[in-house]
Amino acid sequence: MLFAIPDEAAEANRAEVSIPKLASLYLTHDWDGTVKGLKDFPKEDRPPVAPVFFGFRIMVGMWVIMLGLTLWAGWLAWRRRLFRTAAFLRAATWAIPTGYIAVTAGWITTEVGRQPYVVYGHMRTADAVTPTLTGVDVLVSLAAYVAVYFVVFGAGVYYLVRLVQRGLPEHLEGHELRPAERAARPLSAATEPD
């Protein structure tokens, strides 16, 4: 199925667009393979449908965008126009969040899709909770993670802003600009005074 609007209560899909037997081929490597659906499992063993369904499709959609940009970049590089094509550079800029969105959607698909089990058939999520863990413990742990990420990403953003503010030098010391050459001192751009 390529797209549908899942109706969890009716156990059906609305507005379904699908390619017959594609899932059989993809999942079992056989055109006539059997693929179990949610109806083959008891209701208490099924994950919530909508987050898994749409999370997976969002993840694949982001992959399609990244693949398209990669192919476009390859074609432009072959024609030696990669850094001079404004439409591509704008599209690449707008596509910056696609990797993050894809990873997050994949994580949601995986974590929600395994519910209500931690280990399928052996341990349910409700049984995997640490009995001694309190809400304060979780809050302290979350606050520590937020603090560390704030410092790490704050330093990264500060460094990048400093690089952009300095800009390119008006002249290079004794040699011409060679974009493919690795800088001898990459950190000096953000720390050395004018």
* Number of other CB atoms surrounding residue 61 within 10 Å: 15
pTM of the model: 0.66
Please give the Cα distance from 109 to 3 (Å, whole number): 16
Could you identify the residue written with the tokens 């969890």? Answer: 8
Give yes or no for a contact between 166 and 189, defined as CB atoms under 8 angstroms apart: yes
Which letter does DSSP use for residue 47 in this model?
A: P
Structure tokens at 61: 């959609």
Over residues 19-48, mean pLDDT? 85
pLDDT tens digits along 103-138:
999 999 999 998 898 888 889 888 888 889 899 999
Q: What radius of gyration do the chain's Cα atoms show?
A: 25
- Work out the average pLDDT over 163-187: 67
Residues 85-90, mean pLDDT to the nearest whole number: 94
Longest CA–CA separation in the chain, Å: 74
